[in-house]
Amino acid sequence: MSRKLSVSLSLALLFLAFDLRAQEVNIEFDETTDFTQFKTFAIREGHITSRAPALNSPLTKKRLQAEIEKALTSRGLSATEGAADLDVSWEFGSARKLDTQAYPTGWHGRGTRVVQVQKSEGTLVVDLLATSTKQLVWRGIAADSERNPQKLADKLDNLAKKSIGKYPPKNKKK
């Protein structure tokens, strides 16, 4: 009986760990670019692609754009309306996803129980293009697996901060 309880508790902790993975951030950048040359930026375009009303609103777009601007400013860049060293574009999308999870059950874990869990998954992509070359020099991709669209909307500022927190990138030594 205690072994069954131990296995159940272990499985519950495992599933909880998967739900707590929260936000994942990745960046891509042009390793030949000298990022110290960039001093100014201008946000040129931003899009939200979501069916959830909590996410797809002009207020959410305005808030997210302000967070991106604030995060870039905190990294030493200056915002401008006119000519800039970097053009910023961003896109936030969310989609409902059906996740299938299987775990052992039954006598000594010989059976399998399959559970389908509905999730909302949000991804923020921020692109920085060098205006002198019109080339993409940096991309930040932040994803969150929050189930509730309203709670995901509340995390957008953190997605922007974490993504842009990795700018400027540290070039690899050759």
- Taking only the tens place, the pLDDT of each residue in 129-152 is 999 998 999 999 888 888 788 888
For the stretch 93-112, pLDDT in tens is 876 666 676 655 556 656 77
What percent of the chain is modeled with pLDDT above 90? Answer: 38
pLDDT at 19 over 50: no
How far apart (Å, rounded) are the C-alpha atoms in residues 61 and 67? 10
pLDDT at 102: 64
Q: Model pTM greater than 0.95? A: no
pLDDT at 139: 93
Residue ranges of domains in the chain: 22-164
SS3 content of the chain, % helix, strand, coil (to 5): 30, 40, 30
**Does the structural domain 22-164 have CATH classification 3.60.15.10?**
no
ω before 53 within 30° of 0 (cis)?
no
pLDDT at 52 over 70: yes
What single-letter amino acid sits at 53?
P
CB 140 within 8 A of CB 164: yes
